[in-house]
Structure 1
């Protein structure tokens, strides 16, 4: 399973993804689920992926390979004129990979499906954020839906819904996402650290602050314990149910 979040702020875009792909008593694997394409001064595009690992890696590999050997008939992720066209390209590539699996006889319902979050900025346009479905269609974030989640979304969603504010700083957004990821990890073994992040500053058109938060990171451990203590204190402060 996976947990990834893409979020729009007044200041830019924030992305975070876990790295766990298999979970079990003796089977835990780690792979990055975040990809970044950059052409300084012209475009910056970030992709988060959830779903079948073979599918998501094939999509990223195809997008990479086509930037190295551009074809006038086939647009590349670094050659599209707008983020909308970038979303169409990724959606078409995802559908292409899934269809190839099906034609090869690998028809296990949704076993080869994947869902993706695409965000970034291309010169001349604003930062934009899209949620791309395995069927090849997509939707765009807006004021009413300022963030997208993919993977194991339900445990980390409540804090995002309650605390999100488009005016928050990158530092505050990182704290919010760390709590959201901690809540998910506590509830589901299939999501786990380390967590990759990317903070994109609107108008910069270059890769922003990136990094990885390990499970044993002192800040993350402190935040996890502090959030647990705060929840318990808040519950204790509420009146008990009156059985009389």
Structure 2
């Protein structure tokens, strides 16, 4: 399983993904699920993937190879004129890969299914964020959907819904995401660190704060313990239920 989050803030775009994959309790591995393409001063595009690992790796490999083709002779993320066209290209590539490996390839319950989040900015347009479904269709974030989750979404969603604020700083967004990921891995062993992140500053057109949070990271450990302690204290503050005589 996987957990990835993409958020739109006034300041820019925020991405975080876990790295755990498993094919059973005794077959757990670590794979990067976030890919970033950059042409400094012209465009920055980030892609996160959840689902069948062979499918997602094939999609990323095709997109990467085409972006490196001489003079972009093949359709490329580094040549499309807008983020909408970038999302459309990724969706078509996903359909192409599923069609090659599946029977018909357009069923969301296919063995080869995958869900993707793509976001970024191309010069002349604002930052944009999209979620691409296994069938190849996609939606864009907006005021009612300012963040997207893919993979194991339910455990980390409550804190996002309650605490997300588009005006929040990158530092506050990092804290929010760490709590969301910590809540998810506590409830589901198929999600786990390290966590990759990319914080893109709007209109910079350059890769922003990017890195990896390891399990032993002091900040991660501090937030994880602090959040657990805060929940216990909050529960104790709430009034006890009173049974009738």
Give the TM-score taking structure 2 as reference length. 0.95
Alpha-carbon separation, structure 1, partners of 2:197 and 2:72: 33
Structure 1 residue ranges (4+ consecutive) displaced by more than 6 angstroms after TM superposition: none
Shift of 1:232: 0.7
What does residue 230 of structure 1 align with?
230
Shift of 1:159: 0.1
Return 5+ residue gaps in structure 2 as ranges: none
Aligned residues between the structures:
243
What does residue 135 of structure 1 align with?
135
Shift of 1:75: 1.9
Alpha-carbon separation, structure 2, partners of 1:240 and 1:103: 56
What does residue 144 of structure 2 align with?
144
Which string of whole-angstrom CA distances, capped at 9 and with x for unpartnered residues, describes residues 70-97 of structure 1? 5877420110000000000000000110
Alpha-carbon separation, structure 2, partners of 1:188 and 1:219: 21
Which string of whole-angstrom CA distances, capped at 9 and with x for unpartnered residues, describes residues 161-181 of structure 1? 000000000000000000000
Question: SS of 1:228's equivalent?
Answer: helix
* Structure 1 residues 45-84: aligned runs within 5 Å: 45-69=45-69, 74-84=74-84
Alpha-carbon separation, structure 1, partners of 2:209 and 2:168: 16
Give the TM-score taking structure 1 as reference length. 0.96
What does residue 19 of structure 2 align with?
19
Alpha-carbon separation, structure 2, partners of 1:86 and 1:123: 13
Are the equivalent residues in 2 in contact too, given 1:23–1:190 (CA < 8 A)?
no
Alpha-carbon separation, structure 1, partners of 2:59 and 2:71: 17
Alpha-carbon separation, structure 1, partners of 2:54 and 2:90: 16
Alpha-carbon separation, structure 2, partners of 1:233 and 1:24: 36
Shift of 1:218: 1.0
Deviates more, 1:94-103 or 1:187-196: 94-103
What does residue 112 of structure 1 align with?
112
Task: Report the CA distance shift for 1:22/1:128 in structure 2 as closer, same or farther (over 3 A).
Answer: same
Are the equivalent residues in 2 in contact too, given 1:70–1:76 (CA < 8 A)?
no
Alpha-carbon separation, structure 1, partners of 2:4 and 2:108: 24
Which string of whole-angstrom CA distances, capped at 9 and with x for unpartnered residues, describes residues 123-162 of structure 1? 0000000000011100000011100000000000000000
Shift of 1:26: 3.0
What does residue 33 of structure 2 align with?
33
